[in-house]
Amino acid sequence: MIRGVGIDLAVIDRFRNAEPGLLDRILAPADRDYIAKFADPSPHIAGFWAAKEALVKALSRTDIAFNRVAILHEPNGRPYFDYHPDEGRLHLSISHEKEHAVAVVIWEA
Ligand SMILES: CC(C)(COP(=O)(O)OP(=O)(O)OC[C@H]1O[C@@H](n2cnc3c(N)ncnc32)[C@H](O)[C@@H]1OP(=O)(O)O)[C@@H](O)C(=O)NCCC(=O)NCCS
C-alpha cells in the first residue's frame, strides 16, 4: 500500500552559479558524475534537489543527508534512488521545464 507521497518544486535559477558549499550538501558523487554530462547542469541539479525534498516528505523523515542519497538512472533514463527505506520501496519521477523542476516520490510498503 502507499505509505507516503512527497512532491517538491524547485526554481532552476537558484542552482545557477550556486556556491560550491550548496552543491556539496546536495549532491552525492554519482549525482556529480551524472550532471557532468550536461552543458547546463542546473535543471538536473534542481530536479535532484526536488527529488530529495520529495523523499523527505514521502518518508516524513528529516534526518536524511542529501549528499548520501544518489539518484541513478536505468538505461532508458528512468531515475531511482540509491537509497532503501527500512521497509518497502520508493518510486520517483522528475521533470524540468525552462524555469522549474518538479519531482514526485511515492513510498510503497
Ligand atoms: C523520457 C521523456 C518522457 C522525458 O520527458 P521530457 O519532457 O523530455 O523531459 P522532462 O524534463 O519532463 O523529464 C526529464 C526527466 O525525466 C526522467 N526520465 C528520463 N527518461 C525516463 C524514462 N524512460 N522513464 C521515466 N523517467 C524518465 C529523468 O529523471 C529526467 O531528468 P534527469 O535526467 O535530470 O534525471 C521523453 O524524453 C520521452 O521519451 N517521451 C516519449 C514521448 C513519446 O514517445 N511520444 C510519442 C508521441 S506520438
CATH of the domain at 38: 3.90.470.20
How far apart are the C-alpha atoms of 45 and 38, rounded to whole Å? 11
Copy the grid coordinates of residue 84: 532503501
Ligand 1 centroid distance, CA of 67 (Å): 24
> For position 19, what pLDDT does the model report?
86
Full domain range(s) for residue 63: 2-108
Residue numbers in the chain where pLDDT is lower than 70:
none
Copy the grid coordinates of residue 20: 560550491
Pocket residues for ligand 1 (CB within 6 Å)?
44, 47, 76-79, 94-96
How far apart are the C-alpha atoms of 105 and 4, rounded to whole Å? 8
Question: What are the CA-CA distances from residue 91 to residues 19, 25, 52 (Å)?
Answer: 30, 23, 12
> For position 105, what pLDDT does the model report?
98
> For position 20, what pLDDT does the model report?
78
The domain total for the chain is: 1
pLDDT digits (tens, 9 = 90+) for 21-38: 999 999 999 999 999 999
Nearest CA residue ID for atom 34, ligand 1: 44
Residue in 32, 40, 73 to alter for ligand 1 test, most ligand atoms within 8 A of Cβ: 73
* Nearest CA among 58, 80, 61 for reference residue 70: 80
Ligand 1 centroid distance, CA of 105 (Å): 16
